[in-house]
Amino acid sequence: MTSFNRVEIDIGALQNNFASIQKRVGPQVKIMAVVKSDAYGHGLLECSKALFKAGARTFGVAEVWEGVSLRQAGLSGEIVVLLGASPGTYEDIIRYDLTPVVFDGDILDGLSLQATEMNANVGVHLKVDVGMGRLGIMPKEVEFYMAMIKRLPGIFSAGILSHFPMADESAGSGETLQQFAAFQAILAKLQENSSAKYVSHIANSAALIYFSTTHLDMVRPGISLYGCYPDGSPARSMALKPAFELQAVMSFKTRVIQVKEVTTGCGISYGHTFVTSRPSRFAVLPVGYANGYLRSLSNKAEVLIGGRRAPVCGRVCMNACLVDITDLPPVQTGDEVVLMGRQADEYISADEIAGWMDTISYEVLCLFGSSNERVFLHKGFYKK
């Protein structure tokens, strides 16, 4: 069955973004395509397969079950589990050849025991916290954990990573460079004490765009793969030489289900937070907060109808909202409405919607993508 509402995923744009990132970092730098959280709402399996065709050979997921889903769908390459392992996941990690991020001694012990029982050898990536204040061991613990990994049977060190908390902030350059220096010092000390080879990585989307010295062996693009800029604006990226341009991958569309005319002084939707000041025409749209189009968009958002902007008026309901079409050419039931994306010469971006919602594009994409029918478009398919 077909819904009124559909999220369109442009596979060609996704693949071209991957190619742009590879060009940005150079052929010698690996790319971990971050496809966690259903590929930021774009579809885990479909996007991962498309990225593999574009050249991706390493994928980042949040949880083990995501990695298992990719393996069961036939995806090869390395799959790194960014949230790591837990006692109930060791067997799946080994059976499906997943690479967990590690930051806990008990988990290392448990993984080693399971690997030994299954006669396996599991690569792990050790996570170090150099300023994020989230997951990861402290820098002073690195040597201890590396020695532990070396000592335990059935596991080996395949990588070491950290994460930048402020690379997307223009005012955070100093902190980002300090954190990178701290990570480099860790890498240098490890190289002094061992000739072991493993992949080092710290650069997220913001760092791979704005801090080219941080690319190391591998970068981890997430939001940039899906056509959004990590700082919410293309201006900073477009000022680079050469400019770094991305293509939006997701669009969100619906259709008009009723056109109605009302008089002056008519209250619109719950609570009558909008009252008409003139005779008006409204289009009723079958989209609301159940579709990820949140109540916070009430009396703030705009949509595109016939290539023109129309404001959302009144409160957004669970399954409906209204837009004022008084100043637009005639609108009919069934007309296409673009909530996010391009129509004629007008464009509404995920970042613009994020501004109305007081959030970030990441949340917008996850909300829309997880709450609506998805259609995958192969127009402009990238060919390697």
Predicted confidence at residue 1, as pLDDT, reads: 55
For 132-151, the three-class secondary structure string (H helix, E strand, C coil) is CCCCCECHHHHHHHHHHHHH
Predicted confidence at residue 382, as pLDDT, reads: 47
Structure tokens at 183: 């990570």
The phi, psi pair for 98, rounded to 5°, reads -100, 155
For 329-370, the three-class secondary structure string (H helix, E strand, C coil) is CCCCCCCEEEEEEEECCEEECHHHHHHHHCCCHHHHHHHHHH
Rounded Cα distance, 273 and 276, in Å: 10
Predicted confidence at residue 234, as pLDDT, reads: 78
Predicted confidence at residue 49, as pLDDT, reads: 98
Predicted confidence at residue 384, as pLDDT, reads: 41
pTM over 0.85: yes
Report how far apart, in Å, the C-alpha atoms of 35 and of each of 46, 53, 217, 274 are.
10, 15, 19, 40
Give Cα 127 distance to the centre of its chain: 20
Predicted confidence at residue 383, as pLDDT, reads: 44
Cβ-contact 125, 146 below 8 angstroms: no
Q: Does domain 250-348 have CATH number 2.40.50.100?
A: no
Q: How many CB atoms lie within 10 A of CB 24?
A: 20
Predicted confidence at residue 185, as pLDDT, reads: 97
pLDDT, mean of each 10-residue run, the chain (384 residues): 91 98 97 99 98 98 99 98 98 99 98 98 98 96 96 98 92 90 96 85 96 97 97 78 88 99 98 98 99 98 99 99 98 98 98 97 97 90 46
Enumerate the active-site residues: 36, 270
Please report, for the chain, the start and end positions of each structural domain, with discontinuous segments joined by +. 10-228, 250-348
Biggest CA–CA distance in the chain, Å, is 79
Cβ-contact 4, 257 below 8 angstroms: yes
Structure tokens at 283: 């289009």
Nearest Cα residue to 288 out of 367, 358, 229: 367
Architecture of the domain delimited by 10-228? Alpha-Beta Barrel (3.20)
Predicted confidence at residue 380, as pLDDT, reads: 60
**Residue that has been written with the tokens 């009144």 in this structure:** 314
